[in-house]
Chains A and B, each alone.
Chain A
Amino acid sequence: EIVMTQSPATLSVSPGERATLSCRASQRVGSNLAWYQQKPGQAPRLLIYGASTRATGIPARFSGSGSGTEFTLTISSLQSEDFAVYYCQQYNNWWTFGQGTKVEIK
């Protein structure tokens, strides 16, 4: 099983600031990496797939990068609606998720 490790567990950021979230895979997954946003009581929402392609309707302030084992999600200027938990997911070998990074208001 490919283990996905996200850091940090919690990120405290002020509105308008940049947020950088990291995800590491225990094996190479190429670009088969997605990012999801989840708010309390809601389903996850696909943000990024293919490591760097924004899903339909996702604002340009969300960007993804990386390949192989190291990946990054960047939110360029945090809006109030962006405070949530973010998960990375590999789909190179079945599907496994990271444990999540909670982005909270500083």
Chain B
Amino acid sequence: EVQVVESGGGLIQPGGSLRLSCAASGFTVSTNHMSWVRQAPGKGLEWVSVIYSAGSTFYADSVKGRFTISRDNSKNTLYLQMNSLRAEDTAVYFCARGGESHSFDYWGQGTLVTVSS
């Protein structure tokens, strides 16, 4: 059974750093493209970052230069390192697997990041 489970969210002060994890089972992270998608409270969905199977990474303009996506193949886990956090980064962060069509076919339950002093 395909499953992804996020962790690492919490309350952090503006300017701080946080690392999110997404542990996958039932498939291999390194052979799929994997994305992070976030949802601010009461708002819609925003794509944040992607790592392709070949290892190339891309970011939304809103997080470019502050966030870094990576993976650990030995742990079958995806990460999102978030630096210089701002209040507007407050959101539930979802990890999602890219399907064959490049839509997102499996999602985790999300982890809440709150940036506040």
> A91 to B107, Cβ gap below 8 A?
no
Interface residues on A, range: 20 to 34
Contact count A vs B, C-beta below 8 Å: 56
Are A99 and B103 in contact (CB-based, < 8 A)?
Answer: no
Q: By the criterion CB–CB under 8 Å, are B101 and A95 in contact?
A: no
A60 within 8 A of B: no
Asked if residues A87 and B104 are in contact (CB atoms below 8 Å), the reply is no
Q: How far is the CA of A94 from the CA of B57 in the complex (A)?
A: 12
| Chain B interface size, under 10 / 10 to 19 / 20 to 34 / 35 or more | 20 to 34
Q: A43-B94, A43-B108 are in contact. Are A91 and B101 (CB under 8 A)?
A: yes
Closest CB of chain A to B100's CB: distance in Å?
Answer: 9
Q: Can you list 21 residue pairs at the A/B interface with Cβ under 8 Å?
A: A34-B103, A42-B109, A43-B108, A43-B110, A44-B107, A46-B103, A46-B104, A46-B105, A46-B106, A49-B99, A49-B101, A49-B105, A55-B105, A56-B105, A87-B45, A89-B103, A95-B47, A95-B50, A96-B47, A97-B47, A99-B44
